[in-house]
Amino acid sequence: MDEVDVVLLNPPFFRFCGSHNNRLPPSLSYLSAYLEAAGISHALYNADYTESKRFWSMKWMFDNFDPFIDAVDGKGSLYGEVVEIVQSFRPKAVVIMGGEPLIATKDWGNPFIAAHYARMLRRMNVFTVGLSHFFTLDRSKFEDAFDCIMGGEPNAQIVDIIRKRVPGYVSPQPLDLNVVPNLKRQFPTDQDTDFVMTSFGCRFPCSFCLVQQLYRELDQRVRFVETDTVMRDLQQRSESEIYLTDLTFTFAPPKRLRELADALGARGIQKSFTVEARVDCLTERTADLLTELNVRCVKLGVEGITKDLLRAFNKRTKLAQIERAVGLLKERGIAVVTYLLIGGVTSEEDYELTRSYIEKLAPDFVPVAIWSYDLTTDYRYDTQFSPTRLNAWGIDRSVYFKYMDLQSEMNPTVGKMLDYVS
């Protein structure tokens, strides 16, 4: 372990819940690219990593949630362990992520846990920088914990922040569209590097999603990464199956999808892809282009099917669009994953209707999330699998468990799940 000037730290999140997340955090890999170009020595430490190849299910973590509550309250041996490892690099500065700002839809970190790490490191005279959509959207709660907060997306200002020890809140600047994430400084060294982004942002108005709040605050439209940069990024990845984690990949106009398909062909890049889509952003033409791009799986934000659920989620989609989107994909042999959301509506009938509808639709997997992170409430213990949040909604846990019964033992995003009978 070499000494470095900066550690880019992804604190434990799933590890506090008994599981893990081995994916290299995209935002930190972009910051790593800026530091590398500036000649600043650094390590990207994903403290949520373990060597395990199996995963606890969300249901198991829901059932065993107390250690996470302790972690948010600042308790747990992982605080000591992780700081000991960070300090082994003898850094002068640590950038601490409290949730992945580029993919704020994903449960990737907790801002209160990140703040505890910052306080510990500051007591050891380390300069700390916070990065998270929570720190941008709910700044007053966290600004005392860090020396500096980088607002918005990860961006080029990190170099000045580190060199000049810039204090306080640094106003957001967009991430450049010609930066290839740096994969070379990862610790541990064998993290999964299959998350690639070809665009940033989303301006749909889904009420449950922090992305719409973040990009409204940043006042940014969807921005597309330069095609050559996307290709260079894909070429550096060892994985043959890539998850393009754009917030809505099919928001891209057909011309852009065509350009990506042509560029893949011209460079001989033979990878397959999973993408995220909305049911109202899928036409026959788009579906054909997905086939040309070698997209093998599409994850659709269905969330719920009744009028009340769709209204509460402000999804602005219709049942007929769900059926059409799933049909277009199945006809082309593309696997379909349908996200479901619990919260906002307490009538069990809405969930039962959704459950039986999805059962008939027969998607390949059904990720289930509890509507979390209403920043106007006490969201400290929120995760997308929090029993505390489900209780706050007043929804019986049997509703959640019935949704979870729609899942198979293999989660195509994280991998094989452990068998467990409670």
Task: Give CA–CA dist 156/119, Å, rounded.
Answer: 25
Task: Give CA–CA dist 105/99, Å, rounded.
Answer: 10
Q: Is 26 in the site for ligand SF4 (CB under 6 A)?
A: no
Contacting range for ligand SF4; rule: CB under 6 A; set: 118-126, 205-213, 350-358, 391-399: 205-213
Q: Is 384 in the site for ligand SF4 (CB under 6 A)?
A: no
Contacting range for ligand SF4; rule: CB under 6 A; set: 158-166, 177-185, 190-198, 207-215: 207-215
Residue closer to ligand SF4 (CB basis): 187 or 339: 339
Cβ 259 to ligand SF4, closest distance in Å? Answer: 23
Determine which residue in the list 212, 274, 306, 317 makes contact with ligand SF4, applying CB under 6 A.
212
Residue closer to ligand SF4 (CB basis): 77 or 376: 376
Between CA 404 and CA 407, with CA 405 as vertex, the angle to 5 degrees is 75
Q: What residues between 60 and 119 interact with ligand SF4 by CB under 6 A?
A: 105
Q: What residues between 213 and 242 interact with ligand SF4 by CB under 6 A?
A: none
Task: Give CA–CA dist 412/410, Å, rounded.
Answer: 6
Residues in the interface with ligand SF4 (CB under 6 A) total 11
Q: Specify burial of residue 283 (Cβ count, 10 A radius: 0-12, 13-18, 19+).
A: middle
Q: Is 298 in the site for ligand SF4 (CB under 6 A)?
A: no
Q: Is 27 in the site for ligand SF4 (CB under 6 A)?
A: no
Q: Is 211 in the site for ligand SF4 (CB under 6 A)?
A: yes
Q: Is 322 in the site for ligand SF4 (CB under 6 A)?
A: no
Strands 415-416 and 410-411: antiparallel
**What tokens does 13 get?**
């999140």
Contacting range for ligand SF4; rule: CB under 6 A; set: 48-56, 73-81, 200-208, 288-296: 200-208
Q: Is 278 in the site for ligand SF4 (CB under 6 A)?
A: yes
Cβ 105 to ligand SF4, closest distance in Å? Answer: 5
Q: What residues between 32 and 71 interact with ligand SF4 by CB under 6 A?
A: none
Determine which residue in the list 6, 209, 287, 298 makes contact with ligand SF4, applying CB under 6 A.
209
* Contact between residue 379 and residue 372 where contact means Cβ atoms under 8 Å apart: yes
Strands 42-46 and 6-10: parallel
Residue closer to ligand SF4 (CB basis): 186 or 212: 212
Residue closer to ligand SF4 (CB basis): 209 or 334: 209
Q: Is 10 in the site for ligand SF4 (CB under 6 A)?
A: no
Residue closer to ligand SF4 (CB basis): 12 or 201: 201
Cβ 133 to ligand SF4, closest distance in Å? Answer: 12
**What tokens does 379 get?**
């969201």
Residue closer to ligand SF4 (CB basis): 83 or 103: 103
Q: Is 202 in the site for ligand SF4 (CB under 6 A)?
A: yes
Q: Is the peptide bond before 12 cis (omega within 30 degrees of 0)?
A: no
Q: Is 248 in the site for ligand SF4 (CB under 6 A)?
A: yes
Cβ 209 to ligand SF4, closest distance in Å? Answer: 3
Q: Is 325 in the site for ligand SF4 (CB under 6 A)?
A: no
Q: Is 301 in the site for ligand SF4 (CB under 6 A)?
A: yes
Cβ 301 to ligand SF4, closest distance in Å? Answer: 5
Residue closer to ligand SF4 (CB basis): 179 or 210: 210
Q: Is 371 in the site for ligand SF4 (CB under 6 A)?
A: no
User: What residues make contact with ligand SF4 under the rule CB under 6 A?
Assistant: 105, 202, 204, 206, 209, 211-212, 247-248, 278, 301
